[in-house]
Chains A and B, each alone.
Chain A
Amino acid sequence: MQEKLESLMQELALKKIASGEVDRVLAWKKGESYFDVSPAIFKESFDGFTYNAFCGANLSKFLVEETKKEGKVLVFLKPCDTYSFNQLLSEHRINREKVYVVGIECQGKLDINKVYAKGIDGILDIEETDSELKIKTIYGDKTVKKDEVFSVKCETCKSKKLVVFDEKIVLNEMKDNKEKRFDIVEKLESMTEEERFAFWQAELSKCIRCNACRNVCPACTCTNCVFDNNKSGIAGKANADSFEEKLYHIIRAFHVAGRCTDCGECSRVCPQGIPLHLINRKIIKDMNTNYGEYQAGETVTPLNPIVDFKKDDVEANTVVGGKK
């Protein structure tokens, strides 16, 4: 199934380039191994073109720079990536006319670290079936069920809807599992303040301020980020004190509030494995509960709960982070 999808995608890409409709393609490229995948631009050669269970990267943010260039670009977007795309359109960050969007099927992406965590090492090659990974290692063959190694962002999938596309390639039905979306947030909320503090203190003290979360975030497209801007007074870098990380993550979460589509890229790329998406998801949950259901990127609109208001909104003091 995976191969069929991949070959259909490549076929389409080649066709569009041949017809001159687009002059390049933004997709994923295989590295040294099956799971080593990174975003790439394809023009003449499609060597290494791939689409597999490790293509978690959200390509929409690349379009900010890509659409500044000459010519039209074809991009493959998974359902959750299309939300980011719409959100960027809302923020006038992408020139829609310069993009040909191909919506593609996604059955959830995997995290190789979770495979390692199962004690599987020395991986030589991976083969993918609908529900399993067949892994060849120097210690012999292993199989792993896909749903045991879902990337953290795919453990709870908010939607499998392609909210924007010019064309789509979907072979099988896709299922979300949004019921579980706020489970962990709720668990944190049910902790005491002290426990929550301990939880976040432990998580955030792992932060090395590598800025990966910011750099990957499709809502963070400022050219002159406040954290790099000396004038902002918060342009710290070193983790000289535990305060720094909290400040960084609170400000970052607040800056993307209302615009965050919950794509989960922040958590996917965090080298320290901090569940950063739980911060943004808390804000989304609060906004949904208090100001009405809202999903950023579902439509193209400059209005979102943080710039909008109702005259009879709940009082700020009544919105709480959790139990006392």
Chain B
Amino acid sequence: MQEIEKKEHKPLIVAFCCNWCSYAGADLAGSSRLSYPANVKIIRVPCSCRVNPIFILKAFQRGADGVILCGCHPGDCHYSTGNFHTRRRMGILFSLLNYFGIEKERTRIEWVSAAEGQKFSLVMNDFAKTICSLGENRRLEDLRCKKN
């Protein structure tokens, strides 16, 4: 009976998208009517290198179940080198989170160009599926935030 009372958990996914490639790629997915789950919410940043590790932790703290970063393909960064920095920083951060026991699949980085609307949709569908199968994020949860 408890099972019935428990509300079905809808995973929440925060996607950071760089303004020049991936956000445009998301727009293209939109104009091409390529759907992906509504629980993916996009935050626009100028470049993937704007994403501070604190943002990712903050998202998990506030109840996100997965965080994905999207940027221009390496070498195509609008700011020429931004995503190279992202790649190293996030390589280190994601590995460290995993070292702490946070499931590797909860964090991801994908390169999506402005022309890759289809890829954007595929990536988001796949990521949402992965997060769904992982279930609720409990290892980086902050009960103070989850309760209210």
Contact = CB atoms under 8 A, between A and B. Distances in A.
Task: Report A-B touching, CB under 8 Å.
Answer: yes
Interface of A: 188-189, 193-201, 232-234, 240-241, 243-244, 246-247, 250-251, 253-254, 257, 279, 282-283, 286-287, 290-291, 305-311, 313-322, 324
Nearest to A189: B99
Contacts of B57: 247, 250-251
Nearest to A200: B100
A246 B140 contact: yes
Contacts of A309: 81, 84-85, 87-88
Contacts of B58: 233-234
B67 to A, nearest CB: 12
Nearest to A204: B100
Contacts of B95: 282, 286, 319-321
A250 B109 contact: no
B101 A196 contact: yes
Interface residues of B, number: 37
B88 A250 contact: no
A116 to B, nearest CB: 30
A91 B87 CA distance: 23
Majority secondary structure, B binding face: helix
B50 interface: no
Interface of B: 53-54, 57-58, 61, 74-75, 81, 84-104, 108-109, 139-144
Nearest to A185: B99
Contacts of A314: 91
B81 A197 contact: no
A316 B96 contact: no
A316 B101 contact: no
A287 B95 CA distance: 11
B103 A319 contact: no
B99 A316 contact: no
Most chain B CB neighbours (cut-off 10 Å) among A195, A250, A307: A250
A205 B141 CA distance: 14
Nearest to A243: B142
Given A250-B57, A309-B85, A319 B94 contact: yes
